[in-house]
Structure 1
Amino acid sequence: MRITLLLFCFLISLQATAATEISAFANNGLANWEEESFEGQSTYNIVKYGQRTVLKAESNNSASGLVLKKRVDLLKTPYIQWDWLTTSKLSGLNEQAKPGDDYVARIYVVIDGGFAVWSSKCLSYVWSSNQAQGTVWNNAFIGDRVRMIAVRGEQDNINQWYQEKRNVYQDLIDQFGDKGSEQKNQKAYRYIDVIAIMTDTDNSGRQAESYYGDISFSAQ
């Protein structure tokens, strides 16, 4: 991923309101999602998969994603939920190095620091092709301000839907540090400002096809 990934996670200024529904592809399509392109053009389309309406992502030596600018109050709705499926994996890549920083599927959540870029924080929930589920590492390009979490890993099956649920508030504390009190943690981590989706293969020059179901936040 090129250095412009910084824009994806950090240089986003916005005004947003708290909400629990992030995407309802069958009802709203891609309304309010904006495309950000970094290298070539991955394609994102609303399609039917069986009886479901989902988001289809295709990447061919490309890296672009969909960005939704929406503030979410993690004290009210700390849990993000989604499901996804991929039709292939990017085997043989070292995802912790720049040449291997490609993923068949990933979901970002971002705390936007605005002009104070150093205070921005990003969690990247990825479907890793080469690492074990649960592995965590710093992004190869940006370092410890973007923490990569392998929600799915090399042992997981292709062509199979997986349902995911993560406590984003707790993940932020775990990955960026406990501030020492609940009051300080709330000040640092209460709100996220951006949710993003990306399937990218620009570093490896390969192809990937994945599907994303609706994304939502909940209280439990």
Structure 2
Amino acid sequence: MKRSITAIFILLVMPPSFAKPLLIEGNLDHWRPVTLNGETQYQPIMDMEQGVVLRAESVKSASGYEYSRTINLNKTPVLQWQWTAELTPYALAIDHQGIETKQNEFDERDAKGNDFVLRVVVSRKPMFAQAKSIHYVWSHSQPIESDWAIDDNNKVIVVSGDGQTTMKWQTLHRHIQKDWQRVFAENISDINSIMFMTDSDAIGGHAIGYYGDMRTLATKAMAKSEP
């Protein structure tokens, strides 16, 4: 507990260039809704551990919220966020006797299975070129740190899942520049979009997850905030 208090204190006293809050206590004032297919329901609730968080429930839907402002990755290259899963995507199947069973054996790497209980997407949208994105996800079947391509401009990196406990809060740190170099083989200095989304439309299913606070950090701030 002592180390956790110290970490919070260090972040609070850092200059603004070292930490930039993006999503705090479920406040979506600087975020806009993005609908891809149906409406995932996002509701602020009180969590005993995290305070106010966003509960996301998707029923055959894919929608989220986007933060559309330029982030200088030379100053704050690290994205930090909290999340936890309750129900990973599943669909209901009815057999010839009318009995319903939950089906969650689908391939997330395939377009027909591209559903995730938790997804954070960082994007770079140049004025005269195609947008590119990294999708950080909680996977129900693929190992952590595995990655694959949705298409040439969208890459997935698994950061949670793989047998981890559901309904237990996680704090993630990702160095966006390093991840971008890894999946796109490009050096970038900024991004201009961050989105979070819970979706289950590809399988026509159901999923529930929770999103906590989100901020960008300098590498020094990340190193000092870790236990």
Which category describes the TM-score, using the shorter chain as reference length? 0.7 to 0.9
- What amino acid is aligned across from residue 197 of structure 1 in structure 2? F
In 2, the alpha carbon distance for the partners of 1:93 and 1:161 equals 25
- What amino acid is aligned across from residue 138 of structure 2 in structure 1? W
Correspondence for 1:25: 25
In 2, the alpha carbon distance for the partners of 1:138 and 1:153 equals 18
1:150 and 2:147 correspond: no
In 2, the alpha carbon distance for the partners of 1:32 and 1:216 equals 13
SS at the partner of 1:202? coil
- What amino acid is aligned across from residue 21 of structure 1 in structure 2? P
1:102 and 2:100 correspond: no
Question: Unmatched 5+ residue regions in structure 1?
Answer: 1-18, 179-184
Instruction: Tell me by how many angstroms 1:166 deviates.
Output: 0.6
In 2, the alpha carbon distance for the partners of 1:62 and 1:40 equals 4
SS at the partner of 1:209? strand
Correspondence for 1:44: 42
In 1, the alpha carbon distance for the partners of 2:204 and 2:80 equals 30
In 1, the alpha carbon distance for the partners of 2:200 and 2:128 equals 29
Correspondence for 1:15: none
| TM value normalised by structure 1 | 0.81
SS at the partner of 2:22? coil
1:130 and 2:141 correspond: yes
Give yes or no for contact 1:20–1:72 (8 Å, CA) kept in 2. no
In 2, the alpha carbon distance for the partners of 1:21 and 1:30 equals 12
Deviations 1:120-168 (A, max 9, x none): 22111000111111110001xxx02111000012321111111100101
Instruction: Tell me by how many angstroms 1:198 deviates.
Output: 0.2
Higher strand share: 2
In 1, the alpha carbon distance for the partners of 2:128 and 2:36 equals 21
1:161 and 2:161 correspond: no
In 2, the alpha carbon distance for the partners of 1:32 and 1:104 equals 23
Give yes or no for contact 1:89–1:158 (8 Å, CA) kept in 2. no
Instruction: Tell me by how many angstroms 1:172 deviates.
Output: 0.8
Instruction: Tell me by how many angstroms 1:194 deviates.
Output: 0.4
Correspondence for 1:14: none
| TM value normalised by structure 2 | 0.78
Matched ranges for 1:1-220 at <5 A? 20-25=20-25, 29-51=27-49, 52-90=51-89, 91-117=104-130, 120-139=131-150, 143-178=151-186, 185=187, 189-220=188-219
Instruction: Tell me by how many angstroms 1:115 deviates.
Output: 4.5
Identity of aligned residues (%): 31
Which structure has the larger Rg over C-alpha atoms?
Answer: 2
- What amino acid is aligned across from residue 125 of structure 2 in structure 1? D
Correspondence for 2:7: none
In 2, the alpha carbon distance for the partners of 1:217 and 1:68 equals 12
Give yes or no for contact 2:88–2:208 (8 Å, CA) kept in 1. no
